[in-house]
Amino acid sequence: TQLLEQSPQFLSIQEGENLTVYCNSSSVFSSLQWYRQEPGEGPVLLVTVVTGGEVKKLKRLTFQFGDARKDSSLHITAAQPGDTGLYLCAGDYGQNFVFGPGTRLSVLP
Amino acid sequence: DTAVSQTPKYLVTQMGNDKSIKCEQNLGHDTMYWYKQDSKKFLKIMFSYNNKELIINETVPNRFSPKSPDKAHLNLHINSLELGDSAVYFCASSAQGPTMADTQYFGPGTRLTVL
Helix, strand, coil percentages for chain A (3-state, nearest 5) = 5, 55, 40
Q: What's the pLDDT tens digit per position in B15-55?
A: 999 999 999 999 999 999 999 998 887 899 898 898 778 87
Residue of B nearest to A42 (CA): B108
CATH second-level architecture of A17-94? Sandwich (2.60)
Closest to A95 (Cβ–Cβ): which among B43, B98, B108?
A: B98
CATH at residue B59: 2.60.40.10
Residue of B nearest to A92 (CA): B100
Q: Which domain holds residue B74?
A: 4-114
Confidence of residue A38 (pLDDT cuts 50, 70, 90): very high
The total number of structural domains in chain B stands at 1
Confidence of residue B84 (pLDDT cuts 50, 70, 90): very high
Closest to A42 (Cβ–Cβ): which among B40, B98, B106?
A: B106
Q: What is the CA radius of gyration of chain A?
A: 13
The per-residue pLDDT for A106 is 97
Q: What's the pLDDT tens digit per position in B60-69?
A: 899 999 999 9
Distance (Å) from the alpha carbon of B110 to chain A's nearest alpha carbon: 9
Contact A72, A55 (CB under 8 A): no
A1, pLDDT greater than 60:
no
